Every structure is written in C-alpha cells, then in structure tokens.
Amino acid sequence: MAINFPNSPSTNDTYVAAGSRWLWNGTAWVRQGTPGTQGNQGVQGATGSTGPQGAQGAQGVQGSTGSTGPQGVQGAQGVQGATGSGGSTGSTGPQGNQGVQGATGSTGAQGADGNFGGATFDYTFSTNTADSDPGTGTLKFNNSSLSGASLMYIDDEDDGGNDIQPFLRTIDDSTSTVKGHVRVSNRLNAADFALFTISGTSTEASGYHKVSVSHVSGASSFSNSEDIIVTFARTGTKGDTGSTGPQGNQGVQGATGAAAGGATGVDYNDNVKVRFGDDQDMEMYFNGSKLKIEPKTSSTTSQLDFEAKDQVYVASLSNGVFLRAGGSNIIDMYGGAYGGIYFHHNNNDKLKLEGGNWTTQGDADWNFIGTNYDIRFDASDGALEFEDNAKAKFGTSDDLQIYHDGSNSFIHNDTGNLRIEIDSGSGDDIQIICPNTTTISDHSFNYQAKFIDNGAVKLYHAGTQRFETKSDGIDVTGEVQCDSLDVDGNADITGNIVLNGDLDLQDSNSIKLGTNDDLNLIHNGSNSHIENYTGGLYIDQNLNDGDIHLRSDNSTGGLLTYVLCDGSEGSVKLYHYGNEKLNTKTDGVNIAGEVQCDSLDVDGTGDFSGYVNFRGGSGAVNVVANSDIRLTNGNWTGDFGCKIQAHANFLYLQGGSAGFSFRSPTGVDRVRIDSNGHLTPASNNTYDLGTSSVRWRVLYTNDLDLSNEGSSNDVDGTWGKWTLQEGEDDLFLINRRNSKKYKINMTEVE
C-alpha cells in the first residue's frame, strides 16, 4: 500500500504505518523494525451521564505519573462542563501496547481532479515589456525580470505561422484557483527554463493574448530573440468532494509485511529521499520540479546502469530528453514537429539532425578518416577537402577519378568519352584558366594543342605544328582548304579572281568601283544602297524602244513594275500594285484616282465635285490675311455632328451633342450653349453679362433667380439664394434657403 508520511517532520520523529515504525533522521524516513504484539483491548463500559460542573478549584501540585493501568470500562459520556484553566503538563508515561487495528472503512467517492495536460509551441523571446502585439512567433512579459512578471504577452501565431488562438482561449477555463502552469525554456537547453502558474484570466487583444502569470521558479531572464519553446499545462476543473463513508469496525492486527509498500506503491513528499547501497551511496528524490537520481556527494564513486531484457525507453511527454556529463550538454533530443537531435561539445553546438538533414554548427568539421587518406568537410570555408591521393570516384567501376598526387592534379576517365557540357540555353561559357602553358596531348604524349599564357595558340598534326596565332593574325604551315572564306579586312590579290559561285558579301560590306571608290554597292543589314560620289549616276537603256522597269514585291512574293520609263512613248508611268496611277503627257499629267497631299497650291480656280477631307490636325485649314470664307444660301442638306451652312437666309451653326462652347485664344472655355439651348458661363461666379460701361438695354426674363453661393455679401458676410417672381399686383421674394416668402411693399406713383 502507499504510505503517506507527515509533512515537515522534526529530527527523531517517529511514525507507525504498514506494520513498521519509521524514524525521521533529518533527511529521510528510515524503517526501524516491527512493533511488538498488540495487547488485547479492554471491554468498553457504558457511558455515564455527566453531572453539573462545579466551580473551578485551585490547581494542585502535579503528582508523579503512575504506571499505566489496564483500560477500564468506558462510561457513558456526560454533559460537557465549562472548561477549567489548564494545569501544567505532566511527564509522559511509557507507551502502552498498540491495540488491534480495525479494518479501514470504505472511502467515499472523491470528485476527480482536473487532468494536468501539456501542449508545446515554438516561439522567439522578446525583451520588450510594452503591452502590445509582440509580432508573429514572439512572446514577452511585462517585466524585464521574470520573477516580477505578472502578464505574459503571446502572439496568436507561433514561429511556424500556426494559429493557436483556439488553444489560448481555453487555458483559463479551469474552475481551480490555479488555472494551470506555463513553462518557458531554451529550445536547445531544457535546463534553462522559467516556470509560472496561470493565476488569472487570459485577455484576448488584437493579434495577441495577455495571460496572468506568477513566477514559481527557474530563470529570471532570457536574451532578446532567443529561440524558446513554451509549454502549457492546464489544471482541470475540480469535481465535488464525495461524502465520507461510515467508520468501519476495527479489525484484528494483520501480519507484518516483509517491506513497506505494496501493489499501489509508496508516496514520498518533495525532497524525501530514497537511498541505496550500504553507505547510502545513491539517492532518488523529487525536488518539486525534477526527479533526481544522484550520488550522495560529488566525491561518491558511483555508476548508473539501465538494463532490460528488451528495450529501454526514456521519454518526455512534452519537452525533450537531455544527456549531460560533468555539467555540460552532450546530446539534446526533441520530438514533435520541431524535433531533432543536437550534439554538443563543451556546451557548444556542433552537430544537429533536423527533418532528416545533418548540419554542422559553429566551426565544427566533418572528418572521414580512411585507412590511408582522409577527407574533411571544412565548415570554416564551406569546402570538401581531399588529402593528397584521396580520390573522388564516380561510376560503378570507378570509371572517373579526380585527385591530386601532391605534384599534379588528375581527371582520369576509363570508360566512354570525357564530356564537359553546359546547358544549351544557359548562355554561359567553359573557361580553362592557367597562369602557364596549357597543353592537350594524345595517348602517346604527342602535342595536339598548346595554349601559351598571354601568347600564341598552336595546333599540331601528328606532333607537327600546322597552325599558330600571331599578334597580327595567323600563320599556317601548308595548304588551306575551305568551303568558304570570310575575310573581314582587306585582301591583297595580285591575280585575277575567277568565281564559279556567288560573291557573298556580308552586311555593310561593299563593292567599290572607281579609282577613288566613286561608286559603292552595299547592303547595311536593313537596306541596299547604290551610292555615287563623282559625276552623275546614269542608268542607260541602249536598246531601241527599250524600257526601264523598277520592280518590287507585290505583297504576295511576286514582282510588279512600280516605275516604267517607256522608250517607245517617251512617257513615265507610276503604278500601284500593277495599276497605272500617273502617266506623263505632252500637256501635263494624267492621274487616275484620288490625290492626297500635305499641301496643294492651286494658282487658278479649283473645282471640287466631291468631298474635300482635311487630315492635317491643328491648322489643317488656314485662311490667310485679307481672305475669307463665303457661303451661298441654299437648301438644308441634313443634320450632322458639327456643321456650318447658309440656309433660309440664316447662318446655321450646328453644335455637337453637348452644344456649343466659346473658347478664348488661350484655350479657356468662356460661354456655353448646351444641347437644350441654355446659355451658361463655362465657370461659376467668373464672367459678367455686360460691363459697367457697356450694358444690355433690356433683360427679358420670367422668374429671376439670385444666388451668391460660394461667396459672401459685403454687408453681413453671409450668402443667400433668392427668387424674384411677379404677381398680378405685387412682386414677391422667395428665400430658397429657408423657403420663407416675402412681398415687396411698393408705392404707386403717377
């Protein structure tokens, strides 16, 4: 059975339980042995009635304590009298025999305590203490010293962008006084933590929660931007206490067990230690936050072994498993979405495994130690380093090998071709850079090519040099055979050139004729040119009645004549896609079709029987000084968007769909007539109708609306809106702002 030892014992206190006597030696409860046989219990007498209480007498001298006699029959309990003043305590007599232990009565059903659960999230710590949104994945407190913090500010999203609001809204739901616990710890060092109780409600703010906390133990600060994990353990709601069952009859003393404990285990309070070994070398106890197994002193020689027939499991329900030696971190192991294995040396991170990836930390290197040669990944410069003669081999049969033998570097291929390729679409080049001479040789070490640093390139045939580059060109030993010859500069040829093929000149290369290159034939990549620099350029047709044709594409890949010099007629003809449009004659020209021109200067009368369209934009039609436009009165020819016509002895100006606008020479609209015939100024409260010296004689109007809205008068500085209307015998004013109406009092005169 479980033994519940008393709290806060004093040294040499004893306690009897589970058939054994226990002694508190100042550090732990130590079993002292089995008590003697329990004596028989005397018969209990009936309780006598209680008489009235007499007056309190003076206290007598304390007598010596006699030996304890057998317990008499208990009388019936009398009525309790008034309590007298206490006498001095007598000396304690010897302890009587322990009576037979009665059977334990059945325990009433106890309400279930809330479960102590845990949920862990990844966050970053901020030293800022302001009551504000910490930012995504960030946590902070309202005091720079965690021991004095009363509020924790935690963002709604953790470092992974996970929204944990649904969880945060439940952490204060418990009806217990302490709503739960929250533990903040360094993500890679679980020993660096701060523990808090959740002591009040959680307040939801915009983007974050404010959680009432009280510091319990652990660290008083973390560094800014420190990678942390936060674990919540919510206290469950406490159930109602069940009613106490009736006291059972006292049973007969059972036989003494061989050891304390039983099927339900033994309960130990905080810091109560269980020791092992003849000299109590090892201790196991719970210190309030950790279960510790440790040697009694730092100098105690000890070894802790975990052995099992099958597997040995070490598990953490909400955080991690950590291995330490000599006070230093060795291995940290975490599970879950942010899990991993982290290896340390002298408390410095060296290697980690996260998400299936191994990563070195700090300045740690990877060393691959071979029988003869070593390979190292140097973390300081991010390089994979091979010792001399350590080879990188590729292929099933080690077909390709790359290595350095201490003097030279080798790329050795045994199977197939050795190809160095760049993706055809990359636009990049292959560069071989050497500060000395680079050579390519055949299997017999005969030179095939030699590349001299800052010098010539030499090509060989069977070891004999045939080609060499020079500062002013190339030197070829032997014959040059080529399908084509592309000469970018001048070619000095002293003999004749007989071409059995085309003379193919590239863009901007020309054929120059004349001693001084007077005539050039050239194509510049876009157009072809015949350029003459001396005298006239003649195109002669010496055949009698022969013609000269200038032809070009007909838009479908064929050729058509565009200009024809007719030797038999003496005319020049211009064509448009094969159709004659202009033909010179003895008395002028004959044009078939429309004439479109930027300007037309007609010295005589121009008679246009069709439309004249002007597409010149601004200033398309200009009437020069001392000239005018005259319109002859005639029949209305129909409506149009904007039109001028003389009709019915009126000059008609037909406006656009919006009406007319009269504009100043500077492009500012002044007066408008809209499509409904209303005459309005182009801008409000800007233009006058008449002037102080030039007035309209009579203004004919129905109602007269007056308003200075947007400005103010010169009397009281206000603005108004009035309508003047005529009655049969009176004039009326209507205030359009307040709808009040007034009659103007008038006096009749002769």
Of 646, 681, 645, residue with least CA distance to 661: 681
The C-alpha torsion from 296 through 298 and 301 to 304, rounded to 10°, is 70
Look at residue 114 in the predicted model and tell me its pLDDT.
Answer: 33
pLDDT band (50, 70, 90) for residue 125:
very high
Interval 291-296 mean pLDDT: 81
Q: Which residue has the higher pLDDT, 401 or 50?
A: 401
Look at residue 714 in the predicted model and tell me its pLDDT.
Answer: 93
* 290 token code pair: 């950790």
- Evaluate if residue 693 carries a pLDDT over 60: yes
Phi, psi of 369 (to 5 degrees): -95, 115
Look at residue 110 in the predicted model and tell me its pLDDT.
Answer: 45
- Evaluate if residue 340 carries a pLDDT over 90: no
Interval 445-454: pLDDT, tens: 788 898 898 8
Interval 73-89 mean pLDDT: 51
Per-chain mean pLDDT for the chain: 80
Look at residue 633 in the predicted model and tell me its pLDDT.
Answer: 92
Look at residue 731 in the predicted model and tell me its pLDDT.
Answer: 92
Q: Which residue has the higher pLDDT, 79 or 405?
A: 405
**Cα(136)–Cα(161) distance, rounded to whole angstroms?**
7
Interval 389-443: pLDDT, tens: 888 889 988 889 898 988 888 888 888 888 888 877 777 877 788 777 888 888 7
Percent of the chain with pLDDT over 90: 26
Cβ atoms 156, 171 nearer than 8 A:
no
The per-type count for the chain, helices as H runs and strands as E runs, is 1, 46
pLDDT band (50, 70, 90) for residue 19:
low
Specify the range with the lowest mean pLDDT, choosing from 56-70, 130-144, 462-476, 702-716.
56-70
Compute CA distances 354 → 18, 335, 338, 345, 728, whole Å. 51, 10, 8, 18, 101
Phi-psi region of 715 (alpha: psi -120 to 50; beta: other; left: phi over 0): alpha
pTM: 0.28
Look at residue 106 in the predicted model and tell me its pLDDT.
Answer: 57
